[in-house]
């Protein structure tokens, strides 16, 4: 996911961390921060009262996971699985790849295929990864090709035996883009906490994972961008600590064709961008893997079914933005002015 970043210098520094999400941070001399490019997106990690060696190690971990999970990187685990698709060969993969694939299959099952990592060829067909978040003009794929590609999607084509994986359909391709960043963010946080880091922000292209509270021992303020707002204004501020905040929105990557909006959140039942009354869904959860998978899944469900699902999920809340820019929240969220906190 390719994203732009801006840093605005005022009396404090507001650090933009994602197309959809911003964190408002008060910097001081004890703050260290580093930015790099991985997974076709900007990764920014900010730590407080910590050692730079831990920050540097996080970026080494990002490189490692990119080399495992990137479907387009030659000899990655996912590249090798896709290369052997349709054969009887089972491909040996790393412990991390196996863990992530099993987690993905779990979300495929509980969402009845709304979340499906065998969406790779369909995602490539639409080509949204080649677009910036600012939109543009293009033409959608031919309907017949979409239907043909859609017929090859199905998470039940993935077979796992021990530490090996097989993809039974030669015309199917795995893409972990809908969950990998969340998983990696969780692994980075796990590493940092193990080494004594108590405060910080991990941002993988808009997947925001908070470590502890801010430097004043109060909540971080995380802003949700107002959809399609050219000035980057926020629709709301989420005040939380030690949580994951992940947003999926139609304004992230899109284009117009004959005045119709086509966005990157694809519906696995139609092969087309999900068409409902929503512009964005933000998931607030304990870990980023769940938040990443759920943000897309809940969006494709639509407001009513998505809200019903969230109300049954433990330690998980959601904020929906509909096409009238109205915000609807799950029951575990309290609104005070423009600020949203957890009950």
Q: How confident is the model at residue 303 (pLDDT cuts 50, 70, 90)?
A: very high
Instruction: Indicate the DSSP class of residue 200.
Output: E
User: Average of pLDDT values for 185-207?
Assistant: 95
Quick: pLDDT tens for 38-57: 988 899 999 998 899 999 99
In which order are the strands placed within the sheet that holds 164-167?
91-92, 164-167, 158-161
Read off the DSSP letter of residue 270.
Answer: T
In degrees and rounded to multiples of 5, residue 171 shows phi and psi of -100, 20
pLDDT recorded at residue 205: 85
The tokens 């119709």 sit on which residue? 260
Question: What does the pLDDT look like over 122-160, one tens digit per residue?
Answer: 999 998 866 544 455 568 899 999 999 999 999 999 999
Residue 27 has pLDDT above 50, yes or no: no
CB contact set of 329 (below 8 Å; sequence gap of 6+): 317, 318, 319, 320, 335, 340
Per-residue 3-state assignment (H helix, E strand, C coil) for 230-259: CCCCEEEEEEECCCEEEEEECCCCEEEECC
What band does 108 get if pLDDT is binned at 50, 70 and 90? very high
The confidence score (pLDDT) of residue 10 equals: 23
Model confidence at 3: pLDDT above 50: no
The pLDDT, as a whole number, for residue 137 is: 53
The residue-averaged pLDDT of 229-257 equals: 92
pLDDT reading at 9 higher than 50: no
338: Cβ–Cβ under 8 A, 6 or more apart, which residues? 234, 236, 237
Q: Percent of the chain, pLDDT > 90?
A: 78
Strands, sheet with 244-249, edge to edge from the N-terminal-most edge strand = 31-38, 41-48, 200-204, 207-211, 244-249, 278-285, 316-322, 327-329
**What is residue 28's predicted lDDT score, i.e. its pLDDT?**
52
Report how far residue 162's alpha carbon sits from residue 164's, in angstroms, rounded to the nearest whole number.
6
């Amino acid at each position: 996911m390719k994203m732009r970043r801006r840093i605005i210098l005022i009396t404090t520094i507001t650090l933009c961390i994602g197309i959809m999400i911003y964190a408002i941070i008060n910097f001081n001399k004890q703050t260290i921060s580093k930015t790099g490019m991985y997974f076709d997106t900007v990764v920014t990690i900010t730590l407080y009262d910590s050692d730079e060696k831990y920050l540097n190690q996080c970026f080494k971990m990002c490189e490692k996971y990119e080399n495992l999970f990137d479907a387009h990187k030659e000899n990655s685990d996912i590249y090798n699985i896709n290369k052997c698709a349709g054969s009887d060969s089972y491909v040996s993969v790393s412990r991390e790849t196996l863990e992530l694939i099993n987690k993905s299959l779990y979300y495929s099952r509980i969402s009845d295929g709304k979340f499906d990592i065998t969406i790779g060829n369909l995602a490539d067909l639409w080509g949204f990864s080649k677009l910036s978040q600012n939109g543009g003009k293009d033409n959608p794929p031919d309907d017949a090709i979409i239907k043909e590609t859609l017929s090859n999607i199905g998470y039940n084509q993935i077979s796992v035996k021990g530490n090996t994986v097989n993809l039974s359909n030669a015309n199917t391709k795995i893409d972990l883009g809908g969950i990998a960043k969340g998983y990696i963010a969780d692994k980075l946080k796990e590493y940092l906490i193990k080494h004594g880091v108590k405060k910080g922000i991990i941002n993988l292209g808009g997947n925001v994972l908070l470590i502890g509270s801010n430097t004043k021992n109060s909540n971080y303020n995380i802003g949700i961008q107002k959809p399609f707002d050219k000035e980057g204004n926020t629709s709301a501020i989420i005040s939380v600590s030690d949580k994951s905040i992940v947003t999926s929105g139609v304004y992230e990557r899109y284009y117009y064709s004959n005045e119709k909006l086509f966005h990157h959140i694809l519906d696995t039942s139609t092969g087309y961008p999900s068409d409902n009354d929503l512009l964005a869904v933000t998931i607030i959860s304990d870990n980023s893997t769940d938040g990443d998978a759920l943000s897309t899944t809940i969006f494709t469900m639509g407001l009513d079914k998505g809200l019903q699902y969230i109300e049954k999920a433990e330690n998980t809340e959601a904020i929906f933005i509909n096409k009238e820019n109205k915000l609807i929240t799950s029951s575990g969220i309290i609104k005070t002015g423009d600020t949203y906190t957890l009950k």
